[in-house]
Amino acid sequence: MQRSHKRVLVTGGAGFLGSHLCEALLARGHEVLCVDNFFTGSRLNVTHLLSDPRFEVMRHDITFPLFVEVDEIYNLACPASPVHYQHDPVQTTKTSIHGAINMLGLAKRLKAPILQASTSEVYGDPEVHPQTEDYWGRVNPIGPRSCYDEGKRCAETLFFDYNRQHGVNIKVARIFNTYGPRMHPNDGRVVSNFVVQALRGEPITVYGSGKQTRSFCYVSDLIEGLIRLMESPADVTGPINLGNPREFTIRELAELAIRYTGSASEIVLRPLPQDDPRQRRPDIARARELLGWEPTVELEAGLKRTIAYFRNAMADADAGEPSRGLRAAT
């Protein structure tokens, strides 16, 4: 009989998404082993969890094998923003591919279910809108974003091959733009960029015309989707889109950031980076049907919470106090 309280491994557990996932799993009564090499994650993201005896942190790079005993594995380890994954593109590819092989090998040995945090970037600059899970994507295999895009695509291949060849119980989530507290302020992601620039009174840098679109999912909604996918029946392998289907232009997001911060910042346009997608919006019909999941936090509410977090973090930094949001990764 399956235990209700499990020992759960979260790779990348000290990152933005990983720390929120660790928190949610602990709240459900599980033991959590947080594994991170602290390249983009930070110990400060999980400091508040260290007093819980069911929580453990291990410094480890998943491009090397890991030998632990757990009941479930969430594989979130990988730099997820262009600034970070382009810093060392070879290591990014290794993390996606070697890391997947190592974690899948662990899942195979333990006969444990394993969830892969894949990405909407597997769709590239899509010709289909909104994006459904059966769309194969339009990805440049040799561009500056390819280390992440193709690394995640190859990781998905490995997951499904381990499922077909070895019977590993897999779950693949394709994560769309997610935001909220504990985002790294200098990761180049559009929400953190706009909020930090607005709070500092700096110009809001919009790349391209600002007419390109994105869909923004608040972190608590995304974490609920990941847990529901992990807890779904074994025949629900995915891939499953997890994201908010409400679509905004980048300029609209910039204007909201200015409005909700009360900033006097102006919007300035910069050239669009190579291979930057023009449109991105998930079709979440499969998540609704198989997981009973859909987002509940609207962008306006989530953005206000995120602004409050960064405002407090910046005040702490100005006062010389430790801040999860505005310190470099350890």
pLDDT at 319: 67
Residue type, 292: G
Query: What value does the mean pLDDT take over residues 13-17?
Result: 96
Model confidence band, residue 329 (pLDDT cutoffs 50, 70, 90): very low
Q: Given pLDDT bands bounded at 50, 70 and 90, which one contains residue 3? A: low
pLDDT band at 280 (very low <50, low <70, confident <90, very high): confident
Buried/exposed code over 63-102 (b: 16+ C-beta within 10 A; e: otherwise): beebeeebbbbbbbbbbbbbebbbeebebbbbbbbbbbbb
Mean pLDDT of 279-288: 94
Instruction: Give the separation between CA 272 and CA 206, rounded to whole angstroms.
Output: 9
pLDDT at position 1, please? Answer: 38
Cα four-point dihedral sign 284, 288, 289, 292: positive
The catalytic residue positions are: 148
pTM: 0.91
Poorest-pLDDT segment among 5-14, 35-44, 151-160: 35-44
For the domain made up of 7-318, give the CATH fold.
Rossmann fold (3.40.50)
pLDDT on residue 316: 74
Q: How many CA atoms lie within 13 A of 201 on its CB side?
A: 1
Tell me the C-alpha distance between 111 and 105, whole Å.
10
Residue 43 has a CB neighbour count (10 Å cut-off) of 18
Domain assignments of the chain as residue spans, ordered by start? 7-318
For the chain, give the percent of residues with pLDDT over 90.
Answer: 77
pLDDT digits (tens, 9 = 90+) for 133-179: 999 999 999 989 898 899 999 999 999 999 999 999 999 999 999 99
